[in-house]
């Protein structure tokens, strides 16, 4: 399943599979978005699977949000696990 990103009322919905084959597209997309918004909300309800590279991409967005002092939210099923993983890595 391909990765699809849609925007509805400044909440970005990620659908499909996020893995090493499409993670670069994901990172570039959100890097551009982050430079034009005051906060970033990503909904992962429709994310079917994510590999380590995908989690690493969320970690990079998180680090970018800290540097830019912009709020970053992950919502949806599995969001707590991803957020716990990226904040644990950051704290180490």
- Residue 85 structure tokens: 């993983």
Question: In the prediction, which pLDDT does 89 show?
Answer: 53
CATH T-level fold of 7-91: Transcription Regulator spoIIAA (3.30.750)
pLDDT in tens, 51-78: 999 999 999 999 999 998 999 999 998 8
- Residue 74 structure tokens: 């992950």
pLDDT in tens, 9-40: 889 999 999 999 999 999 999 988 877 888 99
Question: In the prediction, which pLDDT does 50 show?
Answer: 93
pTM: 0.85
Q: Where along the chain do its domains lie?
A: 7-91
Expressed in percent and rounded to 5, the helix, strand and coil fractions of the chain are: 45, 25, 25
Question: In the prediction, which pLDDT does 92 show?
Answer: 46
């Amino acid at each position: 399943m391909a990765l699809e990103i849609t925007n509805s009322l400044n909440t970005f919905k990620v659908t499909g599979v996020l893995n090493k084959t499409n993670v670069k597209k994901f990172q570039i997309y959100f890097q551009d978005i982050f430079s034009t918004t005051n906060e970033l909300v990503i909904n992962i309800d429709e994310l079917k699977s994510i590999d380590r590279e995908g989690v690493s991409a969320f970690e990079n967005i998180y680090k970018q949000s800290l540097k830019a002092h912009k709020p970053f939210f992950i919502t949806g099923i599995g969001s707590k696990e991803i957020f716990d993983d990226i904040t644990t890595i950051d704290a180490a």
